[in-house]
A and B are shown apart, each in its own frame.
Chain A
Amino acid sequence: MNRTIKKIESTSDLKKIMAAYYSSLAECDSSKKIAWCSSVGPAELLRAMGFEVFFPENHGAMIGASKKAADYISHANAAGYSPDICSYLTSDIGAFIKKETPMKKAAGLDKVPEPDVLVYCTNQCRDVQDWFSWYARHFDVPIAGVESFRGLGELTRDHVNAVSAQIKNLIPTLEKITHTRFDIDRLRKVVELSQRCSSLWKQVLETAASVPAPLTFFDAAIHMGPAVVLRGTSTACDYYELLLKELKQRVSDGTGAVEQEKYRLYWEGMPIWGAHRDLATLLSSHGAGVVASTYCNSWIFDSLDPQDPFDSMARAYAGLFIARTDSWKENYIAQQVEQFNINGIVFHEAKTCPNNSNSMYAMPKRIKTPSVVINGDLNDLRLFSLEQTQIRLEAFLERLD
């Protein structure tokens, strides 16, 4: 069991792009305004209005990957935030209190860029609103948001209207900060770039439908960085064209990300950032490739349309997987199983992220595909045991044999 994971060559470009993005935030002069935005919040509108956009969830993931989250979470706990709530929130606020950031290592930044405004969407959870509110109080800056829906079956005209109206309602607040007028043509341009980014990202992920898959979830969760923090820019599109070219070459060469791919798995739930590499190594050593995931798919926004920017943004933000009913999610997963030729599903039950833990309401018992549940967390490694997880995953692969 000495299989290796094939390194993606474009990674060096990815690192440069991400470092340049963080540096650009640090180098902002006072003429540039900075908006903090939730990961599937109205980033297109913010960019169109001239903001530099910082995404705290991306920062949270970096903290998780640094394996230092537990050091930070305790500071947020002491400040009154429960260890049972979102560990992105607690580790990020804790890191701020401790005056540390993983961006120091990634791009030489001493601190996160200070916001002029914080903008959220509650499509993924309520925690993001609480999280941003802490910073709004700390920096004494405006906070504005879009209240989206949960447990949606069909996304109706009424849902779209409600979200679209809230996105439009952000404009006066944002205009007061930038002292510029909103320009619909600029928004159309940004939405067009965002749609292109989304389309390219989708094509990147769909290369993994090939057998063997040229990339795994463990690669994709890293390479989706630009789709999160740079959507609406040509930089993100250029990067995914480069990555797509490399992956298409792998497909035509028959090169798999996992040597001698034997099992094809689907990952449902958040990554376990501090164990991401360990899990990639463990699974690949058994010839198991995680070839598709809900998490990485969540940055595919098929709805975006530059001709109809507000409504299409509303459809994209409100129609996320996480905001849907269980039966909608089960149908979605069944389609993924079919498209990616999946043998089994790994459900990550994240202790501090119940909204992203679909095993908690008996979904594994309802779906037809074999599955295993692993207990862990996105950032708090105290809630995760690699040893226990290894037994579950290895036993699951034995079951699939």
Chain B
Amino acid sequence: MFLGIDAGSTEAKAVVVNINGEVLGMGAYRTWTDFTEAAEKAVALALANAGADMDSVKSAVSTGYGRNIQGLAKCAKTEISCHGAGAFKYFPEPLTVIDIGGQDSKIIKIGAKGELLDFKMNRKCAAGTGAFLEETSRRMGSGIGEMNALAANSTQKVELGSYCTVFSFSEILSLSRKGVKKEDLARAVYVSMVKRIMEMDTFAGKVVITGGAVEFNPVLIEIFKEESGINALVPPSPRFAGALGAALFAIKEYNA
């Protein structure tokens, strides 16, 4: 068996695959401030789901913010390569992969053979990332699931003009004072995220969206289509795409 560990800033994810790259088990655990503990718990959950133990793991690759922490895996790959590989597993053709992570968003261009062609990441700012969504949801007094449900029931389009997480909330307060409904404000938050992502780069080939933000906020896909005119694809369990990509690299490592 082969193990991929995505020690992400928000959540650690682990995926166990067989030699054919078929997923046998997955596990996730909130990172908080301890990457090692979160990764270990995610790995234990994934192995338990696969009905396996560490002794059966032939090779492991780590990725994500904590990828270089000693003891996680012998080999580390960036989340750029891993999200690309994870998305390509389900959609094996030229792709633009949009990964919306906790701390950063990435646009990853993948070639016909799954090779990494190019990538862009958000600048030193939380706009367009999961952190923007988390912070804005918290200040609106809504959990992530609630935000998704609110946005799905929006009836009127409003826009946030500011890039900044802090100033966006000031705008939300101002719009709220003017009587804009919470549902419409929630949708405006997602629209802001999508716009920031669309500013990062052009798209080529089919567009695939991965990451926790899209798994917990499926309304993002609909809003992305509305704003870009593109029907984006979503792989199964999109927040595990990076860990899956890492597991696929673990097979390559083993075969090398």
Chain A interface (Cβ within 8 Å of chain B)? Answer: 370, 373, 375, 383-385, 387-388, 391-392, 394-395, 398-399
Contacts and interface: CB of A to CB of B under 8 A. Distances in A.
Contacts of A384: 124
Interface in B97-121: 104, 116-121
B80 A391 contact: yes
Given A387-B65, A395-B116, A399-B118, 6 more contacts: A370-B118, A383-B124, A391-B104, A395-B78, A398-B77, A399-B116
Most chain B beta-carbon neighbours within 10 Å: one of A373, A383, A398:
A398
Interface of B: 65, 77-81, 104, 116-121, 123-124
B146 to A, nearest CB: 31
Contacts of B77: 398
Nearest to B64: A391
Contacts of A398: 77-78, 80-81, 116
Contacts of A375: 123-124
A11 to B, nearest CB: 29
Nearest to B121: A392
Complex A-B, nearest 10 residue pairs according to Cβ-Cβ distance, in ascending order: A395-B80, A395-B78, A399-B116, A398-B81, A394-B78, A375-B123, A375-B124, A391-B78, A385-B124, A395-B119
B117 A388 contact: no
Contact of B81 (A373, A385, A395): A395
Most chain A beta-carbon neighbours within 10 Å: one of B120, B123, B124:
B124
A362 to B, nearest CB: 11
A46 to B, nearest CB: 39
A370 B115 CA distance: 14
Contacts of B117: 399
Majority SS at the chain B contact face: mixed
Nearest to A396: B119
Contacts of A370: 118
A373 B123 CA distance: 10
B106 to A, nearest CB: 9
A167 B79 CA distance: 54
A395 B116 CA distance: 9
B104 A388 contact: yes
Nearest to A382: B124
Contacts of B124: 375, 383-385, 388
Contacts of A387: 65
A258 to B, nearest CB: 19
Contacts of B104: 388, 391
Contacts of A388: 104, 121, 124
Most chain A beta-carbon neighbours within 10 Å: one of B78, B117, B119, B123:
B78
6 contacts: A384-B124, A391-B80, A391-B104, A395-B78, A398-B81, A398-B116
B31 to A, nearest CB: 14
Contacts of A391: 78-80, 104, 121
Nearest to A373: B120
Contacts of B123: 375
Most chain A beta-carbon neighbours within 10 Å: one of B79, B80, B117:
B80
Nearest to A364: B118
Contacts of B81: 395, 398-399
A1 to B, nearest CB: 9
B121 A399 contact: no
Contacts of B118: 370, 399
A394 B121 CA distance: 13
A113 B113 CA distance: 61
A32 B81 CA distance: 60
B169 to A, nearest CB: 22
Given A388-B104, A388-B124, A394-B78, A399 B65 contact: no
B116 to A, nearest CB: 5
A385 to B, nearest CB: 6
A370 B104 CA distance: 22
B123 to A, nearest CB: 5
Nearest to A376: B124
Nearest to B78: A395
A392 B106 CA distance: 10
Nearest to B109: A399
A383 B123 CA distance: 10
